Amino acid sequence: PIRKSTIENIKDKVSEPMRFLMEQNSKTAHARPVVVAYPQVSRAFQQAMQDISYYEENPNVQKVLDTRTKEMQTAIDQSLK
């Protein structure tokens, strides 16, 4: 659930495992950043992590990070126009 009030309203109507999951999520979850270009930034970040995890194919980690950072910044800049 998105809101704590929703958790309170449905906690007695869900299974024990679901209740446990909801309680854990309410303690650790946080809102997504308010960035119009969030989908593009998130995708570039995911691709960076994937590229870095294949070190033999992408041994220059800094180059990967620089490339993906530029993608993120471009998406943010375009969303602000």
DSSP letter at 33 equals: P
H helix intervals, 1-81: 4-10, 16-28, 38-53, 61-79
**pLDDT tens sequence across 35-61:** 889 999 999 999 999 999 999 999 999
Q: Which residues contact 41 (CB under 8 A, 6 or more apart)?
A: 35, 72, 75, 76
The domain segmentation of the chain, as residue ranges, is 1-30, 38-79
Please indicate, yes or no, whether the overall pTM of this predicted structure exceeds 0.85. no
Find the mean pLDDT for residues 13-31: 88
Confidence of residue 6 (pLDDT cuts 50, 70, 90): confident
Number of other CB atoms surrounding residue 63 within 10 Å: 11
Contact 76, 37 (CB under 8 A): yes
| For the ranges 17-21, 25-29, 33-37, the one whose mean pLDDT is highest | 17-21
Residue scoring higher pLDDT (32 or 62): 62
